[in-house]
Amino acid sequence: MPSTPSMPVVEMTGIGKSFGGVPVLRNVDLRLDSGTVVGLLGANGAGKSTLIKILSGVYSADSGTVSVDGQHLGSASVTEAQRLGIRTVHQELSLVPSLRVYENVYLHAELTKGRRTPFAPLDRETMIRESRHVLRDVLGIEVDVRATVEDLPIATRQLVEIARAVHERAKVLVLDEPTTSLEAREKAQLFQVVRDLRNQGVAVIFISHHLDEVTDLCDRTIVLRDGAVVVDAPTAELSARDMVTAMTGRLVDHQYPKKQVELGEPVLAVAGLTREPVYRDVSFVLRRGEILGVVGLAGSGKTELIRGLAGSHPAASGSVTRNGSAVRLGSIRQARRLGLIYLPSDRKVAGIFPEHSVAWNTTISALQRIMGRFGLSPTRELSTVNAAIDEYGMKVSGPDQVISRLSGGNQQKVMLARSLLGNADVLLLEDPTRGIDVAAKNDVYELITSLVEAGKSVVLVSSEETEVLGMCDQILVMREGRVRANLAASDTSLPQIRLIAMSSEGDDE
Amino acid sequence: MTSTPTVPSGRVIAPRAMAGLRRVVGLPGAGVTIAFLVLCVALAFASDYFLTVGNLTVVLRQSVWVAIMGIGMTFVIGMGEIDLSVGAILGISGLAAAIWIQSGVNIYLAVVAALLLGAVIGACNGLLVTILHLPSFVATLGAMSVLRGIIMVITGGVPVYGLRYPEFQFIGQGFIGPFPFPVVILAAVFAEFAYVLYRTPFGRHVLSIGSNAHAARLAGISLTAVRVTVFMISGLLCAIAGVILASRSEAATADAGQGMELDVIAATIIGGTVMTGGKAVLYGTVVGAMLMTTIRNGLNLLGVSPLWQQVVIGAFIIISVAGSMLASRRADGDA
C-alpha cells in the first residue's frame, strides 16, 4: 500500500447537474488524494460519466465547485482542466492510428528545432528519446516508439495514451472502462502501470463494471446510484455483494407486459458453441414461445454470441439443432433461411435504409410477396405495408414517409415488421429498446409479447438487466466469454444477475 | 387558412399554385428536365435551325451513346460505386466487333460476341470490387488503363476501317419508320432497365446496397451477386454503345470513347442520381445526356468555339449539382 502522505488533489463539493430538467447528479462530493486509486462504480445511468465529464471540463456543473490543487476550475473547458493536470483515457482512444507512437505522445505539443511555429522542422530525435524514456523508464513498458499505432494491440495503445498523459504531467488520471477489450495478461500489465503511477503520486480514478478488478486495484471505492454517492469507503471493507447491493438499491417495480405463454417444443438447441477468444462452450435450449435473455458486461461475449447465431460472425465450433435437425449458421442468408432473423442494436448503422420510405424498409426482405404481373406491384406493397402499420402500431403519416424522419421506436417497429414479413421464426434481438423513449419501449415489449403468443421464439441480448428480468423466461448470464449461469427468470433477482455478471464471487450462486 | 373566405380568390390560388410548383420542382429529375426545356426554348429563339427535325434528330442521335452508358452508370452510382472504365469498354468492344467482322466472322455472331465481351469485362470489374475488396474507383481506373493499353497494342493506333456491310451499318445508321435505329435501341434499353430498377427485387436490392450496405447484408441481400451483376450490366451497355458507334462511323478507332466516362458520370449526376448512392433517377440520366448534347449543339449553332464549350459544360455541371444539393438540403429542413 502506498506510503506517500495523502493530500487532496481534487475536491468536488456539492456537485449537481441536470439535463433537460432531469437531475443526473445530486449534491455529489468527491475527494481525490494523490497516490491513491479510487474505483468509481454505478449502473448505467447512475451518473458516472457525467461526473467524469465535469471533472475533465467537458460539462460545467449546475451547482457545486471543483478545485484542483486549491485552484478553482471554472466554466467547462477541457484545455483548462488539462492545464491543471487532469487527463482522461476514454474507451474510444484518442490516438491517431496512422501516426507513430512518439508522434502521438507529442500530438499538438510537437517539439521543433528552433522557434515553435507550425512550419518549423520537427525535432524527431528528442521526441523519440523522451517518449522512450516515459514508456520504458516511467511506465516500464517495452514498445518501439517508432511503431505505427494502428499496428499495436489495443492494450498497448491504451498504454501509449496513458504515456501521453504521464508525459504531460497528469496529476489526476481518469481511466474510463479501460479493461473492456483487454486479455488477462494485458490487464495485469495495465494494473502494474497504474500501481506504479500511484506510487509516483498520481491520483487515479478507475471506472469499471468488473468488481474483481476494483477489489484488486482500488484503495477506495465510490458507488454512485441515481446521481448520488451511496458508498465511499476503503475497498478492503467492501465485498462484491456489498457493491452490487449499493448499486442496485431498492428496486422500483417496473411493470413489463410479460405474459406466461405455454412453451412448446425446442426450436433451437445450441451446444458447445465457441468462437475464440470472444465466447466458448455456450449451450442452451430455446423452446417455442420462449424468450431467452442473455446478459453480461460489454466484452462478455453476448453481442458476439447473437451475431454468431445470426450468421454474420459464425461460431467456429459447436453444434446447432433447429427443429430437431442439425444445421449450420454459416452466413446471414443461411440463418435467415432457417428463420433466424437478427435485429441489430444500431438501427442507423445496420438497420434502416435512411432515405427510403417506410414501405421500402418494411418490404425489402420479402419482395417476392409483393410481386404482381408486371414485377413489384405498388398496390400489393401498399396493402401489405398498411396492414403492417396497423398491426405494429407504427405512428407514421403513411407508407411513403421517409423512415429517417421517424422516432427510434417507430423505426424499431418497422424493423420488427420487416423481419416477420421475412418469415422470422426465431427473432434475435440486440438491445431492441436502446435509444427509444419510455412509451415506445412499452410498445416494443408488447410487440415482443404478442410475437411469442403467436408461436415465435426470441433471443434477447440486452445491456439492461431489468428488461431481461422483466421479459424473459430463461436467462443466460455471461462473463468473460462463458455462460456463468442459466437461470429461470422467475427464480432470480437483479442483484444475483449483476453479481454473477460482474464478479467471480457470483459463481457460487 | 380559416380566413380564406375574406381573401379574394385570386390570392388564394397563387400560394396553392406555388405549392404545386414546389412539389413538381421537388420531384426527382425535375431540375434537369426543366433546365433542358428552358434551354430548348432559348435555343429555338436564338437559332432558326435549332427546332428543325433534322437538327433534333442529330441531337438525339448524338446523345445515344452517353445515354445508354448512363443507364448502366445509374445502376452503378445508385449502388454507391463508380465505373471509370465505361469509355474503354466501349472502345474495346467496338474494336472487337470490327476485327471479328473484318476477319470474316458472321456479323451477327461478331456483334453478340462483342456484347458478351463487354459483359465479361464488367463482371471482372465486379469481381475485383467484391472478391478483392478494391474500391470501385481504383478497380475501374485500373481496368480503364489496361483496356486502353490493349486497344493500342492491338491497333498500333491505326483504326480498323471499312465496315461497310449493310447489316452492320443498319445498327448505327438505319431507321425503323421515322426513328433512327440507335434511338430505338436506346428506347428499348431504357424500358427494360427502368423495369429492372423500379419493378424488380433486383432493382430494390441495388438501391438498398447504395443506401446502407450493412443493413442490406443483414436484410438477406447477397452483396456479391448484386454488385457483380450491376458491373456486368454496365459493361454490357457500354458494349452496345460501342457497337453502335463502330457501325455509325464504319470504323473502330483507338481513341473511341476516350474521356466519355466523364460525360457519362456527369449525365447521371445532373439527372438527379445521388453520388453516394441509394437513389437513382433513370430518366434523369437520359435527359442529362440530351442536355449535354444540346448545350454542345446549341453552342455550335451559335458559333461558339469548341474550346469554350468545355468551359460552359464544366460550369454547368457544377452549377446544376450544387443547385440540386441546395434544394435537397432545404427539403430536409436544413438538417
- E strand spans, B138-250: 175-176, 179-180
Q: Check: CB of residue A460 under 8 Å from CB of residue A433.
A: no
Strands across the sheet with A22-33, in order?
A: A22-33, A8-19, A63-68, A71-72
Nearest to B148 by CA among B76, B85, B102: B85
- Whether B219 has its CB under 8 Å from any CB of chain A: the answer is yes
Q: Quick one: CA torsion of B202, B207, B211, B214, rounded to 10 degrees?
A: 20
pLDDT in tens for each of the 509 residues of chain A?
444 455 789 999 999 999 888 889 999 999 999 999 999 998 877 888 899 999 989 899 999 999 998 888 877 788 888 888 999 888 777 889 999 999 998 887 888 887 878 888 888 999 999 999 888 887 888 889 999 998 888 888 888 888 888 888 889 999 988 877 777 778 888 899 899 999 989 999 999 888 889 999 999 999 999 899 999 999 999 988 888 888 887 666 667 888 888 999 999 999 999 998 899 999 999 999 999 999 998 888 999 999 999 999 999 999 999 999 999 999 999 999 999 999 998 888 889 999 999 999 999 999 999 999 999 999 999 999 999 999 999 999 999 999 998 888 899 999 999 999 999 999 999 999 887 877 788 889 999 999 999 999 999 999 888 899 999 999 999 998 999 999 999 899 888 999 999 888 777 65
CA-nearest residue of chain B to A336? B220
In angstroms, rounded to a whole number, what is the distance separating the alpha carbons of residues A200 and A194?
Answer: 10
- Predicted pLDDT of residue B1: 38
Closest-CA distance of chain B to residue A420, Å: 12
State the pairing for strand pair A220-225/A228-234: antiparallel
List the single residue in B with minimal CA-CA distance to A338: B220
Predicted TM-score (pTM) of the model is 0.84
What pLDDT band is residue B215 in, cutting at 50, 70 and 90?
Answer: very high
Report CA A458 to chain centroid distance, whole Å: 22
Answer whether A55's CB lies under 8 Å from A143's CB.
no
A401 vs B contacts (CB less than 8 Å): none
Tell me which amino acid residue B148 is.
Answer: R
Interface test with A, best of B212, B273, B276, B329 (most A CBs within 10 A): B212
Mapped onto helix, strand or coil, the DSSP state of residue B105 is coil
Candidates A367, A381, A412: best to mutate against B (most CBs of B within 10 A) is A367
- Give the model's pLDDT for residue A3: 44
Is the pLDDT reported for residue B332 higher than 60? no
B23 touches chain A (CB under 8 A): no
Torsion of CA B145, B150, B155, B158, to 10 degrees: 0
Task: Identify the closest residue of chain B to A421 by CA–CA distance.
Answer: B219
Of A342, A349, A367, the CB nearest to B204: A367
Partner residue facing B218 (CB), from A342, A356, A375:
A342
Q: What digits encode the pLDDT tens for the residues B9-54?
A: 445 556 667 677 666 666 777 888 888 888 888 888 888 888 888 8
pLDDT tens, residue by residue, A363-383: 999 999 999 999 999 999 999
C-alpha A469/C-alpha A456 separation (Å) is 19
CB-CB under 8 Å, A422 with B220:
yes
Contact residues, chain A, for B201 at CB < 8 Å:
367-368, 371, 376
* The pLDDT of residue B333 is above 80: no
Residue of A nearest to B219 (CA): A365
Best A376, A419, A430 residue to mutate vs chain B (most B CBs within 10 Å): A376
Question: What's the confidence (pLDDT) of residue B304?
Answer: 86
Predicted confidence at residue A258, as pLDDT, reads 86
- Return mean pLDDT, chain B: 89
By C-alpha distance, which of B38, B120, B121 is closest to B294?
A: B38
pLDDT at A259: 87
The closest CB to that of B220, out of A332, A344, A360, belongs to A332
Q: Is the peptide bond before A277 cis (omega within 30 degrees of 0)?
A: yes
Are β-strands A457-461 and A426-430 bridged in parallel, bridged antiparallel, or unpaired?
A: parallel
Paired with A458 in beta bridges are A291, A427
Q: Is A418 an 8 Å CB contact of chain B?
A: yes
Spell out which residues of chain B touch residue A311, defining contact as CB-CB under 8 Å: none
Using DSSP's 3-state secondary structure scheme, residue A43 falls into coil
Residue A481 neighbours by CB under 8 Å, 6+ apart: A277, A278, A279, A280, A300, A301
* pLDDT value for B335: 37
The Cα A174–Cα A206 span in angstroms is: 6
Residue B9 pLDDT: 46
- Per DSSP, B134 falls in state -
Per-residue model confidence (pLDDT) at position B316: 82
User: Distance (Å) from the C-alpha of residue A196 to the closest C-alpha of chain B?
Assistant: 44
What is the pLDDT, as a whole number, of residue A35?
A: 92
Q: Look at B216 and A353 and tell me if their CB atoms are within 8 Å.
A: yes
What percent of chain B stands above pLDDT 70?
90
User: Among residues 361-380 of chain A, which lie with CB inside 8 Å of chain B?
Assistant: 364-365, 367-368, 371, 374-376
CA–CA distance, A34 with A205 (Å, rounded to integer): 11
- A-B CB pairs within 8 A amount to 66
Q: State which H helix or E strand residue A484 sits in.
A: strand A482-488
DSSP string, B55-100: HHHHHHHHHHHHHHHHHHHHHHHHTT---TTHHHHHHHHHHHHHHH
Q: Please give the angle made by the CA atoms of B272, B124 and B93, to the nearest 5 degrees.
A: 80
pLDDT given for residue A447 in this prediction:
93
DSSP bridge partners of A37: A204
E strands in A253-349: 266-275, 279-287, 291-296, 317-322, 325-327, 340-343
Q: Please report, for residues A153, A168, B169, the alpha-carbon distance to residue A107 in angstroms, rounded to integers and kept in the order given.
A: 20, 11, 67
Question: Cα–Cα distance between A217 and A36 in angstroms, integer?
Answer: 10
Packing angle of the helix pair B9-26, B30-46 (nearest 10 deg): 100
Distance between CA A227 and CA A225 in Å, rounded?
5
**Chosen from A353, A362, A373, A385 to mutate, greatest number of chain B CBs within 10 A:** A353
